[in-house]
Amino acid sequence: MTDKPMLILIAGPYRSGTDGDPQAMATNLARLEAAAWPVFATGHLPVIGEWVALPVLRSAGAGPNDPLADQVLYPTAERLLAHCDAVLRLPGDSTGADQDVATARRRGLPVYYDVAEIPGRTAQETA
């Protein structure tokens, strides 16, 4: 068990394999978001890089297919990982998620591949 809630970055495909199709990216984001509740239910706080990066892109007048996206999406995850305690890596080819795992490992952070691997907190600890 952990003594405090962990901030866990959920990493997996977002743009990868979509050929820039907005619906395919939305499907990928929904898949990332589907892992948020299970992480939260273990007593931790989930975060997804796109939750931060997409509003940043929109405020710059850009989107995920804009050339600016590479300067925002990957650096956002890198900056988030400076605050995260762990990574949950979902299946699927993803350069960005692979970079997140590599960064986490360099920083000595645990990388989980299934929510069941994440240490849970007791009901008393989560109150």
Summarised one tens digit per residue, pLDDT across range 15-55 is: 999 999 999 999 999 999 999 999 999 999 999 999 999 99
Q: Which amino acid is at 109?
A: L
Please list, residue by residue across 107-119, b when 16 or more beta carbons sit within 10 angstroms of its beta carbon and e when fewer do.
eebebbeebeebe
pLDDT score, position 3:
75
Instruction: Provide Rg for the chain, Cα atoms.
Output: 15
pLDDT band of 121, cuts 50, 70, 90: low
Quote the pTM value.
0.91
Query: What's the rounded Cα separation, in Å, for the pair 34 and 50?
Result: 14
